[in-house]
Amino acid sequence: MNQYIACCGLNCESCEARLATIRGDEKLRAEVAEKWSALNGVTITPEMIFCTGCRVEGVKTPYCDSVCEIRKCVNEKHYETCADCASMDTCEKLGAILANNEEARRNLKA
């Protein structure tokens, strides 16, 4: 599977946090922080918007690094992604992503 497909099936290649990181784009980093703060109802600073991708070596956003329950589960089970799990289609953790993102489901099913 493409290394830029996250544990949950989201595509890290199109993630604005990753794009800001690899481009060194401070304006995009600030825009992402503002947008994510509003979406999540928490303060996210531009300094938190550094990520190379969920499953690749390198820096991660604080959420992806230590809060994401999906990534924790995949790592604890030593899976590559949720696609390796027999409970993928009934998983409550993953369900929130798949209910709102058909691309993530397609990525995991591929």
Q: What is the DSSP string of 31-98?
A: HHHHHHHHHHTS---GGG---S-TTSSS---HIIIII-HHHHHHHHTT-SSGGG-TTGGG-HHHHHHH
In a domain, 3, yes or no: no
C-alpha dihedral, 8 to 100 to 42 to 48, nearest 10°: 40
Q: Give the number of domains in the chain.
A: 1
* pLDDT value of residue 110: 87
- Name the pLDDT band for 79 (thresholds 50, 70, 90): very high
Residue 43's domain comprises: 12-109
In a domain, 95, yes or no: yes
Q: How confident is the model at residue 72 (pLDDT cuts 50, 70, 90)?
A: very high
Whether the predicted pLDDT of 1 surpasses 90: no
> Is residue 63 one of the residues assigned to a domain?
yes
**Position 13 confidence tier, pLDDT thresholds 50, 70, 90:** very high
Residue among 7, 4, 2, 3 nearest 88 (CA): 7
pLDDT of residue 85: 96
